[in-house]
Amino acid sequence: MRTVKMSTYLVRQADMHRNRMVILFSCGVVSAIVGPCINLLAGIFGGLIMLIVFCYLGAVEQIKWTKFMQGIRGEDLFNASLSAAIDKTDNILYQGVATDYGDIDYLLVGSSGVYAFEIKNHSGYINYNENGWKKVKISGGGLAYTGGIGNPSGQLGRNIMWLKNYLKSQGIENIWIKGIVVFTHPRARLSVKGLKNIMAITPEGIPDALRGAEIGEEKAVRIVEAIEKLKETE
């Protein structure tokens, strides 16, 4: 399997928020040290205020940095699981295929089919029903609380429709693109019985998911050529 990186969005965002975090925390420390040197009483008070402000802003950037790092770890887990599941050498894995609705995290193209992946690294009990997605986690004190995770299947579905329309514009029609949301966190537990059109799995389900979408070598080559054109326009 050959991997082609079309976007390094997660890495770039993680680096940006990490750098901002370091700068803001450093500014807070400097203001706390320099302030009293200028004017003892006013400097201590002003330095303390600036320390609080910079540390707050730095903490906000730290939360964002942590979020993107979790996404990167999730993609690493996905890559390891996918590599172990694929036994055909004609597959090409595109990372970060840009669309009008964001991007497709990973797009696998080969004679065995076309598979679009959305990677999520949430932990807890992930549930899907007619009301949408939610996750339930248990706090350290044993209390259950719920939270939203957006709409990963809807996001992936929109990106797949965009890709189908793009392939159609390149003269490639009637291609089934199998959409798969992969929850990579080791402590993720899924209940998605009502989910339609898009699959939702943990990494253990990847081998079974990569079946039943064969398109043959000729169509695979044409799709690869079309995706390569997208890369050229970036």
Q: How far apart are CA 100 and CA 163, in angstroms?
A: 9
**pLDDT per residue as tens, the chain (234 positions):** 787 877 666 667 778 888 999 998 898 888 777 766 666 556 567 778 888 888 889 899 998 888 778 777 777 888 888 887 776 667 899 998 989 988 899 999 999 899 999 999 888 899 998 888 999 876 655 555 677 788 999 999 999 999 999 999 999 998 999 999 999 998 899 999 889 899 999 999 999 999 888 898 899 999 999 999 887 555
Burial class (CB in 10 A: 0-12, 13-18, 19+), 123: middle
Report the predicted TM-score, pTM, of the whole model to 2 decimal places: 0.78
Residues 6+ apart with CB under 8 A from 32: 47, 48, 50, 51
**Do 104 and 97 touch, CB atoms closer than 8 A?**
yes
pLDDT of residue 14: 75
pLDDT of residue 184: 92
Residue with tokens 């965009």: 162
Q: How far apart are CA 121 and CA 75, in angstroms?
A: 8
